[in-house]
Amino acid sequence: MVNQPVHDNAVRQEWLSKISGLNTLEKGVEVLTAFRKTSTTPLRESYALELDCNWIECKLEEQVAQLKLHAQGGEKFFTLTAQGDDAQTVANAWTQRMADCNDKWEAEKIHINFRLMFKPPMMPVNIFMDADRILGSRLMELRNLNYYDTPLTELRKQRGVKVVHLQAETSH
């Protein structure tokens, strides 16, 4: 048996290969955005990569940051999103969208989707953090002070969550 590091596995090796093949900012943005949508956030489409998703996302972010620096460099690196838009204008649009929102469940989706699309390196850190703070504060206002006192069963009912219970097979 070969001594293999605990965190080195076939899934990570496969992703390292995919990530090393990303050689344009556009492709990096596309892959990172798709990965976040599919494998991260509470709205993820799949839990298949749950054990490795944070590591993979980190490696994708490293690659996109390098591609962004190479493609934008200088002042643009600190003012544009990885998609090429003015970061402050984008942040202002999202904070206005949240300000106009009066539904806590919609506000939650706005906040999650903002993070999915613009968490650094997609948006410069200073602009992202300020917008994220504003979005999070508004979300907490909409949730109100008693949100965390609401029993889990009631929150599930409000969200329309269907709980699936898995039972282990027993041998007779």
Tens of pLDDT along 67-97? 999 999 889 999 999 999 999 999 999 999 9
CB atoms within 10 A of CB 36: 22
Nearest to 79 by CA among 31, 18, 127, 130: 127
Is pLDDT of 2 > 60? Answer: no
% of the chain surpassing 70 pLDDT = 92
For residue 117, the one-letter residue type is M
Residue 5 phi, psi dihedral angles, 5° rounding:
-55, 145
Query: Under CATH, to which class is 10-147 assigned?
Result: mainly alpha
pLDDT digits (tens, 9 = 90+) for 6-38: 577 899 999 999 999 999 999 999 999 999 999
What is residue 164's predicted lDDT score, i.e. its pLDDT?
A: 78
Assessment of whether the complete model's pTM goes beyond 0.95: no
Between the two ends of the chain, the Cα-to-Cα distance in Å is: 34
